[in-house]
A and B are shown apart, each in its own frame.
Chain A
């Protein structure tokens, strides 16, 4: 009796095993399974999409939530050709292009099993636009007027103006969130509500837990309408890249974001891990404040003069510094844009590295060298402070290198290595002379405009320098407005050349990031612009699995 019961149970288990094996077949084919442990350069600051403004937070939101459409690798942000369907199966433009009707995928489900509806899309836009929420994304979506619900699976987006990037504004910027989960929280309390720390999305991975400072865990959404991801589990743990590097080479972790550049050669000879270039849309330049620190009007005695700005640009060995910091793997900046962007132009004329010319230019600007080689004008020394974030190893190294190079032409630089909170406060208070800045750019020219255009000066814009040139404004405007790619590129290049000639900054390098990744992980060619959004297609072949890949989907013990 007992024996036969056992047999039956065993058979049932075997059967269940079979069926679960079948359902465990992933979207990419092959049997599902595997754990990927990521070492991230810091913890997430915010994970609830309307608040997310940090890189790790972005990774989290992109694993859990979805957009209406995804941007494909070419990064074409004009029109809708560069986009692949995601939550929206298809979309229809109104004849006047002022509205787009998005048809949602009827199979799409939130991780709690509730269907995704047009109400959710409308709710999400309302939250992103609500001034009480204070989303950093709000300035990017001003052209979207509203979303109306035509039926439960059709959301219609209404725009103020017809613009080449109106589709991008909506599809890329708006993360769709479940109304039924978050609607009960008053908007002004979203920031402190514990509910917004428990993410419920429709993306490939379910959010499991976040232990601040320690780890964020995700498991595969096995019921996902687009097929379950091949991996079972993804764990992000914040850590120092140098420590992470050692752990990666020892096989303890699988992916180290921003692997220390000096140690990349170690990966080439390692049998455990390899390097993977991680294209970034960020460039670093030394910004020069045209005003005296803390003032918005009084001209800066050093930087107000374009000759001084140009002389300082010529005083630094940009190529040498690139080699010092990145070895042979760095990307030199060619102007105020990331080289990976579609509108980048490597043919623009930059001030050459020429210390003799730099000295001559400083002489002609009235800054005379004293006995010790340091310059002054009307008794005031040629001296300024250079603010750097302590969190960025690259920028700290550049700061020390530049300090010495400026000294060689007679300019004294004080390095202010500050932590991020101080840096943000001082930028907001205009309390700085010079700064190594890394504007995070979005893939469209609009991002450039939000950083450099005259109208981006002030509380809601990011033009903190502030830089203003009406001709540049006009060129960028028309480059964004035109639907003709060649014309757009010509106009943006002319704008960039003007900016380079104005020398509001010294263009240094593109943020180059190498990730270290365990060799057992198979990474397919990306189909979406950002690698972390392709994580659903990563897999670990069954014969290469190690014990932590076989944990399965069971929850952790309590």
Chain B
């Protein structure tokens, strides 16, 4: 039980096994590259993302030596903006997912550990949340309280993204609650807090990590979609979605403004999905087949405890 039941053991085995997983190596490399680009990239180009170089002569320039990805209709350097966009998109998604994983894990742990009436009530409330279409809710709140600052967007994405993971955590908690070593710890007089912290959490963390990785990709796509609908990041903040929106409105002329942020979004989401799948392969020996995860913002897992789907890790709801 040594490796499986301590967080450090999980980490050590994880990195080694991931390294042996070929597609995971690729995905991790892409993500690392993105993070490096997001942090240092904007410093390497000679422009700032909001600088308008010459609004008459340099607008809508196709890719060239000086502007490898071209310029937009405001004569801003697109490469700089896409790099800055990586910063915004990655930061928004990571923070939002951190938030939803924390909230979801806590909710699921409490529900699963408490059991009984508390569990029933918490699950019914969760059913209610789960049946509100997330995209609709986000659009409604972002439109009605317009304009919502970036921090608000992060909180909203986080606050609407924890339902799926809390269900997974609850199921895991319920199965782990009565495993031998937990019973043993309880017999030795360990407090509830200690049991949860030392024994349950390390076992639950595995599916949470997988879910979180997949969720980062989904939230990036979702944020881009919201920006595309005009309710995401605000000018001149360049999120990939808002750069894309700029381009779409003039798509007859500027294919480069549509194409490059689009490629960035797809590559990033793809990398996170591949990594998530690989993590599942590596972390969850029961799930051998690069198991199923559902597309972003799509299906909901069944709402009751004896769910028909027993395909290993529960698919996440709506990212």
Chain A interface residues toward B at CB < 8 A: 242, 245-246, 260, 262-263, 266, 317, 320-321, 323-324, 390, 393, 396-397, 399-401, 403-405, 407, 414-419, 422
A417 touches B147 (CB 8 A): yes
A377 to B235, CA, bound (A): 26
Minimum distance in angstroms from B39 CB to a CB of chain A: 21
Chain B interface residues toward A at CB < 8 A: 50-52, 55-56, 59, 73-75, 143, 146-147, 230, 234-236, 249-253
Across-interface contacts of A403 in B (CB, < 8 A): 50, 235-236
Across-interface contacts of A317 in B (CB, < 8 A): 55
Minimum distance in angstroms from A222 CB to a CB of chain B: 40
A260 to B230, CA, bound (A): 19
CB closest chain-B residue, reference A393: B249
Minimum distance in angstroms from A293 CB to a CB of chain B: 13
A324 touches B59 (CB 8 A): yes
A390 to B146, CA, bound (A): 11
A266, A404, A416, A417: which contacts B52 (Cβ < 8 A)?
A404
Looking at chain B's contact residues, the main secondary structure is: loop
Across-interface contacts of B73 in A (CB, < 8 A): 324, 397
Across-interface contacts of B252 in A (CB, < 8 A): 242, 245-246, 260, 262-263, 266
A323 to B60, CA, bound (A): 13
A469 to B143, CA, bound (A): 37
A152 to B195, CA, bound (A): 94
A403 to B55, CA, bound (A): 13
B50 touches A404 (CB 8 A): yes
A418 touches B147 (CB 8 A): yes
A317 to B147, CA, bound (A): 27
A262, A393, A407, A416: which contacts B50 (Cβ < 8 A)?
A407
A358 to B59, CA, bound (A): 25
A111 to B271, CA, bound (A): 65
Across-interface contacts of B235 in A (CB, < 8 A): 396, 399-400, 403, 415, 417
A418 touches B146 (CB 8 A): yes
Q: A400-B235, A400-B236 are known contacts. Are A417 and B249 too (CB-CB below 8 A)? A: no
A242 touches B51 (CB 8 A): no
Seed contacts A323-B55, A418-B146; 16 additional CB < 8 Å A-B pairs: A242-B251, A260-B252, A262-B250, A262-B252, A262-B253, A324-B73, A324-B74, A390-B230, A400-B236, A401-B55, A401-B74, A403-B235, A404-B52, A415-B236, A416-B147, A417-B147
B55 touches A321 (CB 8 A): yes
A245 to B249, CA, bound (A): 12
Q: A404-B51, A415-B235, A417-B230 are known contacts. Are A320 and B146 too (CB-CB below 8 A)? A: no
Minimum distance in angstroms from A395 CB to a CB of chain B: 12
CB closest chain-A residue, reference B248: A242
Minimum distance in angstroms from B14 CB to a CB of chain A: 43
Could you show 5 A-B contacts with beta carbons less than 8 Å apart? A242-B250, A246-B252, A397-B73, A400-B235, A416-B147
A242 to B258, CA, bound (A): 15
CB closest chain-A residue, reference B254: A262
B55 touches A422 (CB 8 A): no
B52, B56, B236, B253: which contacts A323 (Cβ < 8 A)?
B56
A403 to B237, CA, bound (A): 12
Across-interface contacts of A260 in B (CB, < 8 A): 250, 252
A320 to B249, CA, bound (A): 21
Across-interface contacts of A324 in B (CB, < 8 A): 55-56, 59, 73-75
A317 to B73, CA, bound (A): 16
Minimum distance in angstroms from B31 CB to a CB of chain A: 31
A422 to B51, CA, bound (A): 29
Closest 8 pairs (CB-CB, A-B) = A324-B55, A404-B52, A323-B56, A415-B235, A416-B147, A400-B235, A320-B55, A418-B146
